[in-house]
Amino acid sequence: MSKEPPKYKYVPDELWTTPDLKDIDAKKVVDLLLAALADEILAFHQYMLTAYAIKGPNSEEISEVFKKIAMDELNDHFTRIAERLQDFNVDIPDFRDFWSLSRCKQPPLPSDPYDIDAWLKAAIEAEECAIAYYREIYDYVKDRDVRTEELIEHILSDEIEHYTLFKNLLSKGKLKS
pLDDT beyond 50 at 7: yes
Does 9 map to a domain?
no
Mean pLDDT for 158-163 is 98
Query: What does the alpha-carbon distance between residue 40 and residue 44 come to, in Å, rounded to a whole number?
Result: 6
Instruction: Identify the three-state secondary structure at position 136.
Output: helix
The mean pLDDT of the chain is 93
Q: What's the pTM value of the predicted model, to 2 decimals?
A: 0.92
Structure letter (DSSP) for residue 6: P
Q: Decide if 143 is inside a domain.
A: yes
- pLDDT higher than 80, residue 175: no
SS3 content of the chain, % helix, strand, coil (to 5): 65, 0, 35
CATH code, 53: 1.20.1260.10
Q: Is the pLDDT of residue 174 over 60?
A: no
Question: Does residue 90 lie within any of the structural domains?
Answer: yes
pLDDT tens digit string along 52-81? Answer: 999 998 999 999 999 999 999 999 999 999
Reported for 128-131, long-range contacts at CB under 8 A and 24+ positions apart, including other chains, are 128/163, 129/39, 129/103, 129/104, 130/39, 130/43, 130/104, 130/159, 131/156, 131/159, 131/160, 131/163
Specify if 163 maps to a domain.
yes
